A and B are shown apart, each in its own frame.
Chain A
Amino acid sequence: MTISAAEASEQVRRKDIRDRWLLSAPALILIAVAGVGPLLIVVLYSFLAPGNYGDVKWQFSTDAWFSVLFTRDIFDDTLSIADAHLSIFWRSIKLAIATTGLCVAFGFPTAYFIATRPSHNRQIWLFLITIPFWTNMLIRAFAIQEVIRNEGIVNTLLMKLGLIAAPIPMMFSDFAILLGMTYVFLPLMVLPLYASIEKLDFRLIEAAYDLYASRWNVLFRVIVPLVKPGLIAGAILVFIPALSSYVIPRVLGGGKNLMIGNLIELQFGQGRNWPLGASLSVTLVIIVLVAMLYYVKNASKSGGAHG
């Protein structure tokens, strides 16, 4: 039997694709087994009943999802909104937004500064931004803790100078979490912003000045709209890890100032309500996905290719 050239090339193509699947299989399997696959189990668990000593009972139940938002009074069975959960969600969202805002406020000028350096110096400045990013997050949180604790540098210094009589308590507060998250996530804002600002066409700014634009107008009506893709990318890159932050509230927020991540952990520790923990996890993933979709939609609208 003879085969035509077209059939032969089709066979070669098929074999090539099969080989490519075989080559990528180990990575896909590894991620499926020890990465994202177990998320399906989390979804499943969120629809089961809690076991007596942690884990789950194998019976269908929507109680966990119900108690994400509501609590049932144990005496008269009346429903009320689960204030504890909602206030933690709300606090997490507020803190993540505030962190994003602070990162823009500090990161934008920094990225602009780096992008306007002579080109041979830019790499060094970028390197300086990147180093803290690659150092352990726990160590950076610990470094912030050392600076702001009661017997820390700031308080010791202020007391030595006679400006304050007693240390200002800064640890274990929302302020500490906010400071820590801004500190830790700032590079995530600077890097994409830099990529956008570097491509900025400064002739446009010159044109704006020629047309008697004030500095303020140039900044907010020329520069900011032009670097919007970088701004959105940075905001998403900061907002998502800030919202799901676990280590920083644990180290800097103490036991009282929980964020969603800590609330989830509690359900698998002392609270021992695994289905509730699972449904809280799924809720967090949904919020993150919504934020991502918003980003993708905006990125495609502004039509820019960016990282």
Chain B
Amino acid sequence: MAKPFSVRRVPGFSTIAMICFIGLYLPIVTLVIYAFNAGTSIAIWEGFSLRWFQSAWNNAQVIDASIRSLQIAVTASVVATVVATMAAIATTRTVQYRGLTFKYAFINLPLLVPEIVTAVALLIFFSRVKVWTGYSGLGYLIAAHAAFCVPFAYLPIRARLESMDLTLERAAADLYATPFQAFRYVTLPLLWPGVLAGFMLGFVISLDDVVITEFVKSGGQDTLPTYMLGQLRRVVTPEMNAISTVFLLLSFAIVTIFFFLSRTEKTS
């Protein structure tokens, strides 16, 4: 049974692609299924139950770490989005000036440095600052997260800005709008999808971070990922699966919103 010849088809490629898609999802699906296991094993199915979700919900450490994770992710991504928006406005729609290339490079620099190296650098730096100032609160984690979220927030905002022209803002200025009014009522509404995309990227990146958090955190400042990393060394029960499932659901929701946001942006 010969298939009609197509110049686009390469034999075997579709099969490998299918293996990839199945391979990408199979471990995640297995993980989610066993979150509903009635037994204590993460491999032997003993019936459906929600006991592990309940047990995670009643685990004070898990709830504590989740709340901290959300606090850090929200604060850090808001800070990152605000400074990234300002930086994006400052670096787009302009003639080349001295330092412009430097700004681009510097803002994207955190993407190039291996995370473990940044983590070690922050460990050294912040441990000194902690001694000097006596402050050892969440501020360090928030600052570190905000810093590595900036490039992620900056990219979509800059992309959005570059596709906007200056005519509308000039029109606003011609009609005696103050620079602030022009920004608030003209630039920002047009820029909003980019800002939202930047915020969500930053939020997901911050929520997922393990390495930098693991090195920067002081005692008792576990986030959900560092708590899970600690637990993985012990005997694992489906409670881990249950926590992972909720986590996955949250990431999935954010990515889906992000996807549709960027899609409507393209069609409009």
Contact = CB atoms under 8 A, between A and B. Distances in A.
5 contacts: A34-B144, A106-B16, A137-B208, A138-B228, A246-B116
Contacts of A240: 114
B228 A142 contact: yes
A30 B10 contact: no
A interface bracket (residues with beta carbon within 8 Å of B): 35 or more
Contact of B120 (A42, A110, A147): A42
B146 A41 contact: no
B112 A292 contact: yes
Contacts of B138: none
A106 B19 contact: yes
Given A33-B143, A142-B244, A136 B225 contact: yes
Q: Indicate the member of A28, A139, A250, A281 with the most B CB atoms within 10 Å.
A: A139
B84 interface: yes
Nearest to B263: A123
Interface in A124-140: 127-132, 134-140
Interface in B1-55: 7-14, 16-17, 19-21, 23-28, 30-31, 34, 41-44
Contact of A110 (B21, B115, B204): B21
Contacts of B91: 20, 24
Contacts of B215: 268
B106 A23 contact: no
Contacts of A113: 13-14, 16-17
A114 interface: yes
A10 interface: no
A177 interface: no
B131 to A, nearest CB: 10
B122 interface: yes
Contacts of B210: 137-138, 247
A39 B118 CA distance: 7
Interface stretch (B59-67, B163-171, B188-196, B247-255): B247-255
Contacts of B117: 39, 42, 244, 264, 281, 284-285
B14 A261 contact: no
Interface in A64-121: 105-107, 109-110, 112-114, 116
A222 to B, nearest CB: 10
B186 interface: no
B35 to A, nearest CB: 11
Given A183-B23, A284-B117, A136 B251 contact: yes
A59 to B, nearest CB: 17
Contacts of B115: 241, 244, 246
A285 B204 CA distance: 25
Contact of B31 (A112, A146, A247): A146
B24 A35 contact: no
Given A34-B143, A139-B228, A139-B248, 12 more contacts: A23-B90, A26-B86, A109-B20, A138-B225, A139-B244, A143-B28, A143-B31, A151-B42, A151-B43, A183-B27, A202-B8, A281-B120
Given A132-B25, A138-B225, A35 B86 contact: no
Majority SS of interface residues in chain A?
helix
A196 interface: no
Interface in B68-114: 79-80, 82-84, 86-87, 89-91, 94, 97-99, 103, 106-107, 109-110, 112-114
Contact-size category for B? 35 or more
Interface in B210-224: 210-211, 215
B61 to A, nearest CB: 16
Identify the interface centre among B80, B83, B109: most chain A CB within 10 Å of its CB.
Answer: B83
A215 B113 contact: no
A144 interface: yes
B78 to A, nearest CB: 13
A290 interface: no
Contact of B7 (A114, A153, A206): A206
A31 interface: yes
A19, A39, A142, A153 interface centre (most CB from chain B within 10 Å): A142
A134 B24 CA distance: 13
Contacts of B173: none
A258 interface: no
Nearest to A209: B7
Interface in A163-193: 183, 186, 190
A41 B114 contact: no
Nearest to A116: B8
